[in-house]
Structure 1
Amino acid sequence: MISDPLILTIVILVVMFSLLLTSLWIGVSLILTGIIGMLIYEHHLPPIISIYDKIGDLLASSLYDALNSWSLAALPMFILMGEILYKSSISTKLLNGLKPWLNYIPGGLLHVNVAACSLFAAVSGSSAATTATVGKITLDELKKRGYSKSIAMGSLAGAGTLGFLIPPSLIMIIYGVLADTSIGKLFIAGIIPGLLLATLYSVYIMIISKIDKTAEPKVKESFTLKQKIDSLKDLVPILLLITVILGSIYGGIATPTEAAALGVLGSILLALYFKSFNYEIFKNAIMNTVVTSSMISFIIAGAVFLSQVIGFLGIARAMSEFIIGLGLSPLVLILLIGVMYIILGMILEGVSIVVMTLPIVLPIILLSGFDALWFGVFLVFMVEMAQITPPVGFSLFVIQSISGEKIETIVKATFPFFVLMVVTVAIITFFPEIVNYLPNKMIK
């Protein structure tokens, strides 16, 4: 039996990662880790209560508490909306609508990746769906027109992660549920940082296009005023859907869950308008939504159980007291936590990182004076980095499957955009009002 919380922490981390390495489901691994942690702890329970009774009670209550959440109902709705948009031809319409308007900027159609990912992220909420959808359309097209394939892949990898930051964001919903933070405020808080990151990507593309003459073709495609106006018929309906979803949340008309339902209805109407909706598309979208939602819900349930176990064992309190006792400044603390997340991002995917670390990290963050809302956006940036850090960067594998390039070539192309993410994280850390400005302004 072990009673020291720090030794318990080490044992639990070793058990958790050992179980994950066996390829067990993440939810099962988290639940088993919690059960093992309670079994090895030196308990001081009343004689009439056995440790098995306590584990059963804690497991039952945590599973119920984790999934009995109205906010969590937004998750399958936003996933379904993204699936419908992904499987219909709406993403192609989005690209066709953007081309005439971005062609004259330095870097030309390379900006389509950034703009298309930003817009698709605002109706999808999924980084993987954003990267795959936009990438399937743009990579071959940009290569045929003489644009640098390296910059095209790098910008796609970087901008594809905006699906986590620009609302609606699935990671923000998960964080909001686990951290008991307003999902509506999280959505609003992600807007300015998301636009800032997208702007930095575009500025980099413009600069590199001026330096590297092979980045774009010498002779650009030209578009008439009529072609520009005609392209609006593809662009305006998508912008209207984004406005309805986000406007209903920010205007206080609908909760994020209600807005998600509106988004599903809007995506179906949009697919019907573009004549790209049928029973087969809807059936596949529903099936994929059920699979994805069930997987994420099971992971959340396991994370909540492990979180309660960690509280029961006194690990969170002991870790917080230990780190605060080191006398680290808040900036040094957040730097160390950021480095930890980057390392974890090399071996784990985003949802796993959030649910496994939050029970331990969040109490430390709050005791150090950081705001839960700000940390939510910071954590989303860390998850974005995990998407493009080898060897388990999911976006890297998505791009590899689309482009057929070697993974090391994609990593090299993506590195400048990873650096721009780090720069953006530094900016919001030194100027947290960038995150808090809109929530404070729009929600009193």
Structure 2
Amino acid sequence: MFKNRILKWVGIAFISLTYTACSVPALVQKTENKTVPASYNNLQDTTNTAKVKWQEFFTDPNLTSLIDLALQNNQELNITLQEIQIAQNEIRARKGEYLPFVGLRGAASVEKVPRYTNIGALEATTEIEPGKEMPEPLTDFMGGAYANWEVDIWHKLRNAKKSAVNRYLASVEGRNFMVTNLIAEIANSYFELLALDNQLAIVQQNIKLQSNALQIVKLQKEATRVTELAVRRFQAQVLNTQSLQYDIQQRITETENRINFLVGRFPQPIQRNNQPFENLIPKNIQAGIPAQLLANRPDIKQAELNLAAAKLDVQVAKARFYPSLSISAGIGLQAFNPTYLIKPQSVLYTLAGDLAAPLVNKNAIKALYYSANAQQIQAIYNYERTILNANMEVVNQLAKIENLAKSYDLKSR
């Protein structure tokens, strides 16, 4: 009977608190746009080079060794790996929040109560046991276990954990995107280095030819067949080409050091292929269709997972308007003398439930709710921007490949 009355009043209190606290503010709603063009330049081929592993795409052993070294030593990549570890620990923390907290507690104290107070007067006339007055001062010893648990009625804690999982997965995709950019930057710098080597060889060959021509012109001047103006003109050409040689050598040094920085080491010569540059013909690139970007691009996956996490954060913030139920319990032993702790009369226990809901002055939780929604909308815009940027990058690179091929054909005629 008594138990039923307690449950009845708890139910009434819960309904009342829910009714008074559940006035959730309205929010600005926005849905993400996942629309992408049907094709690139009217090409419907679904073959996609993005599915090819980089070890299969790049066959130069010097380049692949540089990439392998960068994946181990690159500082920025290693920083990202630690961010992944932080996100993983955040999952562990969120998971622990919706499980009961259990702990052990022990305490010892001594207390001297003033004689001329209500408590002091009461203790002076009270026997702690038959024939024995209350000791003064009074010691107290206690030890036991306690537990606290917030019942996740509105899935506030579970949604927070799911949000942390999505952010962890987003950090993994961020690392994958960084790896992609790192490989691309090393490959681009490596082939730029080969092009500079080829350009330097051509310039050095031109210096030899121009120097020989200068010697011929000097002999012709001695034979009075040309004037000093012709000699000066050829000298200017040689000096200009020599200056160009030093500019190229400086660019080679900077490119080598950029590669060294990416692989995480101090400046040193870069081992590279010595075969003629025109023999380094890359494989054909198949871009596939734009819809494949959503499945292949790590940056799009990262933005999508961050958006999912932001949506869950809104649900977490919304749950703060609803009543929360906490249960606490404890069991232990307490006595003024340690020898009494083993007696059944020293056992103590407690069990309590706490039902609370925000009623007045909800400014703080409203601000959190509005901020979570603003971050959700921000994540939507970032997701749409990432899709747009990815599509533009592919279109620009395809146009660049096509125009470079046409330029090469014209120059090779």
TM-score normalised to structure 2 length: 0.23
Q: Which has the larger radius of gyration?
A: 2
TM-score normalised to structure 1 length: 0.22
| Structure number with higher strand proportion | 2
Q: Which has the higher contact order (CA 8 A, sep 6+)?
A: 2
| Structure number with higher helix proportion | 1
